[in-house]
Chain A
């Protein structure tokens, strides 16, 4: 089966998301009229081609391969409208040519991923949800290998790609690529350039790769020899080699021309394999732009779509006008006026910048810089959002109905099985109580933490908006280990699960994605601390860390003690009870320290508030005090007492809060009885306005009542104070004192009465009788008079 003219197949090297490549490819196909179009992509996905070229399919879409069993490995081949591969498939469909994918089948690719993972892709495991785990090594090839290269060589030595860029006088590789390949309009030039580029590149880097990344190198070799085998098979099937076009990543272009060395049957049989499933799934430009490992067309999919459309319309020179007017429109709709004259000048500047690099048209970078100068008036922040929207776009692909069988459904079924939840997958609602503590009566770890893992899954599902399990308040107050859920499987739940495919391939990855999105949007520290709590409940350790960073960032700008204290309390609870969820909370401790420190520093400032705000402040002070006590080994308790002392001594803050600070100090034993007595007599001296004195006393009496009741000297001073007041002052003070005592329980009131009775030499029983008995008529009248009390200006 050795064909004679085996070297004659036409190789067309491309960058995977390249409008220039797609345009040149179409021209090339039209000219050559091949009978077979072979494309770098998993061979077992050939059956999906008819779905890809279906009229109802709207790119961006992706071919997704995932393993049927654990650990889930996924690989993704995304296609945008300007992908040369997709254009090639569509051309083949329209012209009746045979089309097939010729790369290793996904079963082998995913199995090989496991082999190479420990050395090259370790970081992917630690970052679920970034979409990285699904990064197809199949597409990370050729020029797109930039990031891999940089990773491998570290930042110290510039990568080969940035060296190429600087040798060409460009600022980065993307600029170099766009200028030299995407803008290269002369017929045939693209293909020629890539072939020689590929050959040169391999000469330069192959030896080094073989030394430094032997696994990567071997992997490429295996793939290429499989592709050569496929090409041979195609020739053997009767296609004229002259009329076969192979579309592959630029890096492989030089290696596929000669098909004499190919994979034998034995070699093929010896490759590892895992059972995999393939499906098409809708994709989004946003996901495309956040995927790492891609080069052109990756960071700005919508921009490249605009470029593609301009090329198809035969007017690529319109692109700068189109792009900058779109940015200007968005800036205007954002409320900032920018004139047409400025857009014109921006186009001129972009073209001058391109000319400075002897380019024929501005690159995206040139357009960005021109937009910043003219439309942003030098300031990027004005136009940043508009740029992002024009660059990335919001397009989401769609597929004909029933094409997609998503991995997240698989994942969920697997989880149900593992957590013994299958019997609950009915439309009948049922209750489930969970005990998160370790079950010590069973032997395996999995069984011991069954309920904990169930709880994690339920929390994750509710985070994804999948209404399978609804949380019920726990019966026992404060039992952090108990949870009650109502679970019910409905058709809506099924739909919600399918919809969450776009968020990630597994429940965990999707959750990580959702949490990250929420953290990005989070604007207040209350929200951030709530998200940290959710991350804890969902058992997402790395998102706790991200949440910590977001909270830290937000906390620096907050001077609101109430907010800070609430967030600190939330963290304190997580730190205190985190071990029940088997979450490492140590990284949160420094943040708690910081929040606590801020709470202390701004305490005195924040205490200068009115009585309404003071209520929230007392709660905040209580929380901070609780934290100081719970975490005295980490937080700066000394500073807290010092700040409290400061506040209690200040006369110009809210008197209630000063009093409250004094009460905490007394309770903590930070001031002596004598100091306290001195402070009481100072606060309750005749010169002080009645509302201030009484307000302070109100604050003092809000904590530690029995401590107060046991101090006779205090009541003597209060007594002296009231005696010293003139009538109208007394009425004023009465309002505040009444409020202060209103929160005392009858028993406490009785105790006060007894104390005062003792002081006045009245029989304690008589006093108590008066206090607890019904009001007499004249007393009622006196109280009614108080209703008409003129509050004047306070």
Chain B
């Protein structure tokens, strides 16, 4: 009871605690062959991620999208290769990495959170300097990195935002991944990886402040690119769900936008992102910046805040147009032309339902 109460105080819980029952049910019902160091068979891991049933327990889907990608991720970890998940911002890379570690190893907490300030010590090991000064290098004074601990335990370490680390720090991984040991020359010993050890790293492709990854490092990973939601319906349901959640948690005093408005925003975003109208008949120029699903969500919540604070509480075409203008036109001149062309060539011809939004966007873009 007290544990439950304590857990509720956290903003979010790690996957292995959040889905403890599902994991236990899967382990219990597992009939497949379990690879060394894993807590369940690859098939069960797949079920955990994409949903299904374990005995009588219903397993909720954790990742909605291409099941094949998940299969490839799991197969990668079976072959004891390290896994690198790449994708645009907001494609559930970290979410997937956390859930995979929780399912395979039962602990998603061995994380290196990569930043420009991450140093080699975070990847290998560092020292407790007080003890180091007092006793010299001893095993007790050694502070192991999450990766080193995962090696000792035969578990999975996660490396978030690997491309934000300086190249020198990324390089520290190269020998760890190929030799599967970390040597501590001060103690004259080596830590070898037990079976089951692997690393799941995540990286952004199109963003500022990311470093190019070296070919040598890329070669040591199996790289899987996570795509933006594959069809309109999937994206629409993700946006709808999140907008509703955010609206209630921030207590925005505006009505949740009508399905029609959501559909329009998601349609515009998808068309501009893919450079193609939804019916695939016409090509559209894409703006320079990233326009992710996450941005569609924040655009809609912004427009709602705008409507609530300065409007009548109802989301109008003008509110949407203001949001769209901000989200799409980032690089002034070029994006403005792109947007103008889109308005003229595509949106103008969409008929009466789009007329209001078209007019509002046109005025906003003048």
Residues on A close to B: CB < 8 A? 171, 337, 339, 341-342, 345, 348-349, 352-353, 355-356, 369-370, 373-374, 377-379, 549, 552-553, 556-557, 594, 597-598, 601-602
B67 to A356, Cβ gap below 8 A?
no
B150 to chain A: closest CB distance in Å?
Answer: 21
B71 to A353, Cβ gap below 8 A?
yes
A598 to B42, Cβ gap below 8 A?
no
B72 to A369, Cβ gap below 8 A?
yes
B75 CB contact (under 8 Å) in A171, A349, A597, A598: A349
B337 to A556, Cβ gap below 8 A?
no
A164 to chain B: closest CB distance in Å?
Answer: 17
A345 to B81, Cβ gap below 8 A?
yes
Q: How far is the CA of A220 from the CA of B75 in the complex (A)?
A: 44
The 7 A-B residue pairs with the shortest CB-CB distance in the complex, in nearest-first order: A378-B223, A352-B75, A378-B225, A553-B283, A556-B283, A353-B75, A348-B79
Q: Sample 16 A-B pairs with CB under 8 A, ordered by A number.
A: A345-B79, A345-B81, A345-B222, A349-B72, A352-B78, A353-B71, A353-B72, A355-B78, A356-B78, A378-B86, A378-B224, A553-B283, A556-B284, A556-B285, A598-B341, A601-B337
Q: How far is the CA of A76 from the CA of B42 in the complex (A)?
A: 46
- Give 16 A-B pairs besides A355-B42, A355-B75 with Cβ atoms closer than 8 angstroms: A349-B72, A349-B79, A352-B76, A352-B78, A356-B43, A356-B46, A356-B74, A356-B75, A356-B78, A369-B72, A373-B222, A374-B223, A377-B223, A556-B283, A556-B285, A601-B337
B223 to A352, Cβ gap below 8 A?
no
Q: Which residue of B lies closest to A169 (CB)?
A: B43
Q: How far is the CA of A370 from the CA of B283 in the complex (A)?
A: 31
Please indicate the chain A residues that have their CB under 8 angstroms from the CB of B225 in the complex.
378-379
Residues B282-334 near A (CB distance < 8 A): 282-285
B72 to A373, Cβ gap below 8 A?
yes
- Could you mark each residue 231-247 of chain B with 1 if its beta carbon is under 8 Å from any beta carbon of chain A, else 0? 00000000000000000
B291 to chain A: closest CB distance in Å?
Answer: 17
- Known A-B contacts A373-B72, A378-B86, A601-B340; A349 and B219 likewise in contact (beta carbons under 8 Å): no
- Could you mark each residue 31-53 of chain B with 1 if its beta carbon is under 8 Å from any beta carbon of chain A, else 0? 00000000000110010000000
Q: Which residue of B lies closest to A636 (CB)?
A: B344
Q: Which residue of A lies closest to B344 (CB)?
A: A597
B345 to A597, Cβ gap below 8 A?
yes
Is B281 an interface position by the 8 A CB rule?
A: yes
Residues B204-223 near A (CB distance < 8 A): 215, 218-219, 222-223
Residues B46-105 near A (CB distance < 8 A): 46, 67-68, 71-72, 74-76, 78-79, 81, 84, 86
Q: How far is the CA of A345 from the CA of B178 in the complex (A)?
A: 13
Q: Which residue of A lies closest to B333 (CB)?
A: A605
Q: Which residue of B lies closest to A352 (CB)?
A: B75
Please indicate the chain B residues that have their CB under 8 angstroms from the CB of A373 in the complex.
72, 76, 222-224
Please indicate the chain A residues that have their CB under 8 angstroms from the CB of B78 in the complex.
352, 355-356
B68 CB contact (under 8 Å) in A369, A378, A553: A369
A377 to B344, Cβ gap below 8 A?
no
Q: How far is the CA of A597 from the CA of B338 in the complex (A)?
A: 12
- Known A-B contacts A342-B219, A377-B223, A597-B345; A352 and B337 likewise in contact (beta carbons under 8 Å): no
B281 to A549, Cβ gap below 8 A?
yes
Q: Which residue of B lies closest to A337 (CB)?
A: B215
A634 to chain B: closest CB distance in Å?
Answer: 13
Please indicate the chain A residues that have their CB under 8 angstroms from the CB of B224 in the complex.
373, 378
Q: Which residue of A lies closest to B340 (CB)?
A: A601
- B contacts with A, residue count (CB < 8 A): 33
Please indicate the chain B residues that have their CB under 8 angstroms from the CB of A348 in the complex.
79, 81
Please indicate the chain B residues that have their CB under 8 angstroms from the CB of A377 in the complex.
218, 223
A84 to chain B: closest CB distance in Å?
Answer: 30
B91 to chain A: closest CB distance in Å?
Answer: 13
Please indicate the chain B residues that have their CB under 8 angstroms from the CB of A602 in the complex.
337
A339 to B67, Cβ gap below 8 A?
no
B67 to A601, Cβ gap below 8 A?
no
A349 to B222, Cβ gap below 8 A?
yes
Please indicate the chain A residues that have their CB under 8 angstroms from the CB of B76 in the complex.
349, 352, 373
Please indicate the chain A residues that have their CB under 8 angstroms from the CB of B79 in the complex.
345, 348-349, 352
Please indicate the chain A residues that have their CB under 8 angstroms from the CB of B218 in the complex.
377
Q: How far is the CA of A349 from the CA of B80 in the complex (A)?
A: 10
Q: Which residue of B lies closest to A378 (CB)?
A: B223
Q: How far is the CA of A553 from the CA of B76 in the complex (A)?
A: 38
Q: How far is the CA of A552 from the CA of B222 in the complex (A)?
A: 38
Q: How far is the CA of A129 from the CA of B216 in the complex (A)?
A: 48
B282 to A552, Cβ gap below 8 A?
yes
Q: Which residue of B lies closest to A172 (CB)?
A: B68
Please indicate the chain A residues that have their CB under 8 angstroms from the CB of B81 in the complex.
345, 348-349
Q: Which residue of B lies closest to A376 (CB)?
A: B223
Q: Which residue of B lies closest to A369 (CB)?
A: B72
B67 to A171, Cβ gap below 8 A?
yes
Please indicate the chain B residues that have their CB under 8 angstroms from the CB of A339 in the complex.
219
Q: How far is the CA of A730 from the CA of B282 in the complex (A)?
A: 54
Please indicate the chain B residues that have their CB under 8 angstroms from the CB of A352 in the complex.
75-76, 78-79
B226 to chain A: closest CB distance in Å?
Answer: 9
Please indicate the chain A residues that have their CB under 8 angstroms from the CB of B74 in the complex.
356
A413 to chain B: closest CB distance in Å?
Answer: 40
A440 to chain B: closest CB distance in Å?
Answer: 39
Please indicate the chain A residues that have their CB under 8 angstroms from the CB of B215 in the complex.
337
Q: How far is the CA of A348 from the CA of B282 in the complex (A)?
A: 41
Please indicate the chain A residues that have their CB under 8 angstroms from the CB of B46 in the complex.
356
A224 to chain B: closest CB distance in Å?
Answer: 38
Please indicate the chain B residues that have their CB under 8 angstroms from the CB of A341 in the complex.
219
Please indicate the chain A residues that have their CB under 8 angstroms from the CB of B223 in the complex.
373-374, 377-379
Q: How far is the CA of A414 from the CA of B235 in the complex (A)?
A: 55
Residues B258-290 near A (CB distance < 8 A): 275, 281-285
Residues B335-351 near A (CB distance < 8 A): 337, 340-341, 344-345
Q: Tell me which of B79, B215, B223, B224 has the highest count of chain A C-beta atoms within 10 A of its own C-beta.
A: B79
Please indicate the chain A residues that have their CB under 8 angstroms from the CB of B72 in the complex.
349, 353, 369-370, 373
Please indicate the chain B residues that have their CB under 8 angstroms from the CB of A342 in the complex.
219
- Known A-B contacts A373-B222, A374-B222, A378-B225; A557 and B285 likewise in contact (beta carbons under 8 Å): yes
Q: How far is the CA of A506 from the CA of B275 in the complex (A)?
A: 37
Q: Which residue of A lies closest to B225 (CB)?
A: A378
A712 to chain B: closest CB distance in Å?
Answer: 39
B313 to chain A: closest CB distance in Å?
Answer: 37
Q: Which residue of A lies closest to B42 (CB)?
A: A356
- Could you mark each residue 243-258 of chain B with 1 if its beta carbon is under 8 Å from any beta carbon of chain A, else 0? 0000000000000000
A597 to B341, Cβ gap below 8 A?
yes
Please indicate the chain B residues that have their CB under 8 angstroms from the CB of A378 in the complex.
84, 86, 223-225
Q: How far is the CA of A699 from the CA of B42 in the complex (A)?
A: 74
Q: How far is the CA of A345 from the CA of B80 in the complex (A)?
A: 10
Q: How far is the CA of A268 from the CA of B37 in the complex (A)?
A: 69
Please indicate the chain B residues that have their CB under 8 angstroms from the CB of A556 in the complex.
275, 283-285
A375 to chain B: closest CB distance in Å?
Answer: 10
Q: How far is the CA of A376 from the CA of B274 in the complex (A)?
A: 21
Q: How far is the CA of A369 from the CA of B43 in the complex (A)?
A: 18
Please indicate the chain A residues that have their CB under 8 angstroms from the CB of B275 in the complex.
556
B83 to chain A: closest CB distance in Å?
Answer: 9
A171 to B68, Cβ gap below 8 A?
yes
A178 to chain B: closest CB distance in Å?
Answer: 15
Q: How far is the CA of A341 from the CA of B79 in the complex (A)?
A: 14
Please indicate the chain A residues that have their CB under 8 angstroms from the CB of B84 in the complex.
378
Q: How far is the CA of A190 from the CA of B222 in the complex (A)?
A: 35
Q: Which residue of B lies closest to A380 (CB)?
A: B225
Q: Which residue of A lies closest to B73 (CB)?
A: A373
Please indicate the chain B residues that have their CB under 8 angstroms from the CB of A374 in the complex.
222-223
Q: How far is the CA of A601 from the CA of B365 in the complex (A)?
A: 14
Please indicate the chain B residues that have their CB under 8 angstroms from the CB of A557 in the complex.
283, 285
A611 to chain B: closest CB distance in Å?
Answer: 25
B202 to chain A: closest CB distance in Å?
Answer: 12
Please indicate the chain A residues that have their CB under 8 angstroms from the CB of B340 in the complex.
601
Q: How far is the CA of A356 from the CA of B84 in the complex (A)?
A: 20
Please indicate the chain A residues that have their CB under 8 angstroms from the CB of B219 in the complex.
339, 341-342
Please indicate the chain B residues that have their CB under 8 angstroms from the CB of A594 in the complex.
345
Q: How far is the CA of A370 from the CA of B282 in the complex (A)?
A: 33
